[in-house]
Each structure stands twice: as C-alpha cells, then as structure tokens.
Amino acid sequence: MTDTQTSVVDEDDRALKAKHRAMWASGDYPALASDLIWSLGPHLIGAVGVQAGDRVLDVAAGSGNAAIPAALRGATVVASDLTPELFDAGRRRAREAGADLEWREADAEALPFPDDAFDATVSCVGVMFAPHHARSSAEMLRVTRPGGRIGVLNWTPEGFVGRMFATMKPFNAPPPPGVQPAPLWGDDAHVRELFGASVTDFSAVRETVTIDRFDTGRRFREYFASHYGPTIAVYRRIADDPVQVAALDAALDELADAMIADGGMQWEYLLVTATVR
C-alpha cells in the first residue's frame, strides 16, 4: 500500500471511530447498563477468576460494569473506552461502591499499553462493537501476559440483541468495507478463529440474562430509542421519512412482543474465557 493509500485508510478509520464515539455518547448508555445488564460484569469477572493483586484491563468498558467489580476484588484495574463521555457515570458508580480504578480513553484496535501488561483482559458487550475484529482481538492478546486470562461476554447473533440488530439493518446505512457485524463476536466458531492458537483452555458457553423491565414491545422500543446509541443512530438516519420510522417502530415492537413472557425477556450471550499461551 502506498503512503497516499495509507493516509486515506487512516483518515477513513479516524472518521469511522469518531462516528462510533459520537454514537455511544448519544442517549444514556450508562443508565441502560445500570438498569438492564449490570449483573453481567461481575459474572464475567468471576468466570475469568480475577483475584486481588491482578492487573486487569477492561476493553470498551463503558461505564465500568466489569471494571468496577474487578476493582472491588482488589485488582489493579484500567477501564478503557473509545468514548470517554461514559466515564463520568462510571466514576460516580465506582465512588459509590468504594472502588479505585483508572479510566483511560483508548481505541480497542490500537490499545495504548505495552505488551504483556495485564494478568487479565476482559470485555463485557464492548469489544464486539469495534469494527475490525481481528485487530481488537490481536490487541487483547498482545497486552495480556503469557499465562494470563482473557474473558469476553458478547450478544449472540441468534439471541434477542442480535436479532434486534438484524431488524435495524435494513434501515441503517451500509457499513464501510471491512467492518464486521458486532454479533459475530457471539458466535463460538468466529471467536475461536480470532484467538486461534494464541490461547489454550478455550471455553465458550451460551447463557441468558433475564430482562424484566418491559411489559410491552413498545416500551422496550421507546427506551432503546432514547438510551441506546445504535438504535438512536438508526432513527436519526430515517427521521425525515415517516414511513420508514413507522416501519421500524412496528418491526421492533413485534420483535420485543414476541420475546416478552411472564418471567421477562431472555437475552442470550456467549461467555468466552481462555488462557494466553
């Protein structure tokens, strides 16, 4: 690749990352994480086996639902994210919990940490949204010491959140070349390929989290359209087309209504843990 081509690629990548940052800064993802999925962070940290004294990196940490539980176990923790606008809510939550950790702006595809810097590197429904999966997985491997642990928890393509993204796809702009769908990180074979021979003790388990906040599809859709960056972005794109807006409303309502049961919605995720060679 020539220098000119490299410059264009770099500029395109910067523009894409800026778009991602703005998307996740919109709405109120920290409130959503607190309201719906905070329990997933401690579950991931427990599965990885984080202990007091461990050096832990949380990649695409958001407001810290994995980083804070790791710090409460006595680990030395860095919570990193492309969108530092999410950190203020995380810092407040950490103070309330009595957790001490570092918050660091960082691109998951170019982590600003040296090789072998951490005993454990984790991500809870975060790194899956980095656009180039091979880059971000390679970075997680690079910064984790040999014998250290990697743990990722991601929505599956077949589960509710994966189906929500599939529902929104026809209303969204086509992704740039080379950008991979986030829910692929919830596919066992895909994650095995990403980490490959660089890890041992690879484990991938499908589990679900119960979401009992919504009693109708409409209430789910209204909440996500005001809180969740990817949903907000799609609605903004079609805001001037009332037919498209009505069609997306109906599609999301139908999807959620079909999933709501007496015990609440069941959202499936893939929990992966592995040891770095």
Which tens digits make up the pLDDT trace of 66-118? Answer: 999 999 999 999 999 999 999 999 999 999 999 999 999 999 999 999 999 99
Angle between helices 133-143 and 188-195 (to 10 degrees): 50
Partner residues linked to 269 by β-bridges? 155, 207
Whole-number Å distance between alpha carbons of 183 and 144: 24
Which tens digits make up the pLDDT trace of 15-71? Answer: 999 999 999 999 999 999 999 999 999 999 999 999 999 999 999 999 999 999 999
Asked if the model's pLDDT at residue 132 lies above 90, the reply is yes
For the full predicted model, state whether its pTM sits above 0.75.
yes
Which tens digits make up the pLDDT trace of 244-276? Answer: 999 999 999 999 999 997 778 999 999 999 999
- pLDDT at position 61 is 98
Helix (H, G, I), strand (E, B) or coil at 28: coil
185 neighbors 133 (Cβ within 8 angstroms): yes
Total domains present in the chain: 1
Specify if 111 maps to a domain.
yes
Specify if 69 maps to a domain.
yes
- A 10 A CB-CB count for 124 gives 31
Q: How confident is the model at residue 10 (pLDDT cuts 50, 70, 90)?
A: confident
Asked if the model's pLDDT at residue 6 lies above 80, the reply is no
Specify if 169 maps to a domain.
yes
DSSP 6: H
- pLDDT at position 168 is 98
Q: How confident is the model at residue 7 (pLDDT cuts 50, 70, 90)?
A: very low
Which tens digits make up the pLDDT trace of 196-217? Answer: 999 999 999 999 999 999 999 9
Residues near 7 by beta carbon (within 8 Å), at least 6 away in sequence: none
Specify if 42 maps to a domain.
yes
Specify if 94 maps to a domain.
yes
140 neighbors 77 (Cβ within 8 angstroms): no
For residue 22, give the CATH number of its domain: 3.40.50.150
Specify if 12 maps to a domain.
yes
Residues near 11 by beta carbon (within 8 Å), at least 6 away in sequence: none
Specify if 60 maps to a domain.
yes
Whole-number Å distance between alpha carbons of 119 and 77: 10
Whole-number Å distance between alpha carbons of 83 and 87: 8
Exposed / middle / buried, residue 114 (Cβ in 10 Å: 0-12, 13-18, 19+): exposed
Q: Which residue type is seen at 14?
A: R
101 neighbors 77 (Cβ within 8 angstroms): yes
81 neighbors 62 (Cβ within 8 angstroms): yes
Structural domain boundaries enclosing 160: 3-210+266-276
Q: Which spans in 49-172 are helix H?
A: 67-72, 87-97, 133-143, 160-168
- The alpha carbon of 24 is separated from its chain's Cα centroid by a whole number of angstroms, namely 10
- pLDDT at position 9 is 53
